[in-house]
Amino acid sequence: MREIVQAVEHHSVQKAKQSAEQAREYISERNRLQMNAIYEVIRLCKVINEEDEDDY
């Protein structure tokens, strides 16, 4: 974000756009990885729940 603000302050619209796009890509990838992690945690919980049910 700092890069975007600095680019705007220096009237470099192209640099600001480039920095914003890089930030968007980074956030998008991080969100994708987090969603995958959530999916895996849910799968693990289901496996654990099934094992607990088998114990009864």
Per-residue pLDDT, 26: 96
- Coil, helix or strand for 54? helix
Q: Please report, in tens digits, the pLDDT of each residue of the chain (56 residues total).
A: 677 677 677 777 888 888 889 999 999 999 999 999 999 999 999 999 988 777 76
Per-residue pLDDT, 9: 74
Per-residue pLDDT, 10: 72
Sign of CA dihedral 39, 45, 48, 54: negative
Per-residue pLDDT, 3: 72
7 neighbors 16 (Cβ within 8 angstroms): yes
